Amino acid sequence: MSTSNKPAQSPWIKARYLVEYAGLKAALGLLNTLPTTTSLALARGVGNLGYAFSGMRRRVSIENLRRTGVAGDAATARHLARAAFSHMTQLVVETIWARYTPGFVEKHVTLAIPAATQALLNDREQGMLLATGHIGNWEVAGLAAARRKSVVGLMRPMSNPYVDAMVQSLLPPGGFRLVPKHSPDIGRFAQYLREGSVLALMIDQFAGERGMSVPFFGQPAQTHTAVALLHLVTRVPLVFGWCRRTGPLQFKLRASEPIVIARTGRKQEDVRAVLTRLNSELERAIGEAPEQYMWGHRRWKPVKASVGNSEQ
């Protein structure tokens, strides 16, 4: 694999990357030899260890659960934070099984999608914007949607180029592809939509100075505007969707009706209206399964703190 487009690595960083790569490859090999129930149990154990030893992420998770009011007391916040760590490690195992198991979507995913949204997915010539967040298993959601039509998702490349290449290689052939953030292909978003693809965008990452301050759980959060601008400019239908785990390797893909916002013709007001609606949809999803949300993200950082800080 080539890393020629990446900055030069120090020997120590390269060694660390290679160790991480070797560890992940060994773990994937182990998963292929273990029963599903054993793999998921090990994943939960790793999640519990992550909760115990990841001091900063644990503190951020608990703080966010209290800030939003999702957890009314410290004990509930700790319980949900631990469950969220476990959810994230299970997500990795689930995603690997979903990508490698023939017929996984048909056997393990049920749909709860309104008729109007079903029609959009069935129309291969109609593009669609799918807004989602780090709730449930978004990887399984993409694979399930790709059974109907081509899905393009935006991803942030991993700092470890060897692991990043391995993750990309795990993608199954077919209608689900990931476009790296900051890739020249991002300029082709409108083209993807014209081709009839689903363009899936995460809406719950801290946007810094580039974003718009929109309430999220009643508190201002810098929110990326791309999905709203694309919807307003292209007039392509916009829906919110997410994939909830309902049992071991069992999921339900949920989606809203196509979102309709009364346009005022004033760009900032219309963008804010779209983002406010999407944040409300995400809040509702989190309320249904708070243990399946990525609480460790610093969603409410002050804007000034984002200068020179790329942490997400």
pTM of the prediction? 0.85
Give me the helices (H) in 123-205, please.
138-145, 161-169, 189-194
The pLDDT value given to residue 4: 43
For residues 136 and 282, the answer to whether their CB atoms sit within 8 Å is no
The pLDDT value given to residue 182: 60
The DSSP code sequence of 151-173 is EEEEEPPPSSHHHHHHHHHTSPS
For residues 297 and 89, the answer to whether their CB atoms sit within 8 Å is no
Q: What is the pLDDT of residues 220-244, one digit of tens each?
A: 999 999 999 999 999 999 999 999 9
Q: Which two structure tokens, joined as six digits, stand for 22?
A: 């070797």
In the β-sheet with 128-132, what is the strand arrangement from edge to edge?
109-112, 250-255, 238-247, 128-132, 198-202, 151-155, 176-180
The pLDDT value given to residue 96: 82
The DSSP code sequence of 56-112 is HHHHHHHHHHHHHTSSSSHHHHHHHHHHHHHHHHHHHHHHHHHHHSTTHHHHHEEEE
Q: Could you tell me the pLDDT band of residue 269, with boundaries at 50, 70 and 90?
A: very high
- Three-state DSSP at 201 gives strand
Has residue 199 got a pLDDT over 60? yes
Q: What is the pLDDT of residues 114-124, one digit of tens each?
A: 999 999 999 99
- Report the Cα 32 to chain-centroid distance in Å: 25
Q: Distance between CA atoms of 242 and 122, rounded to whole angstroms? A: 18
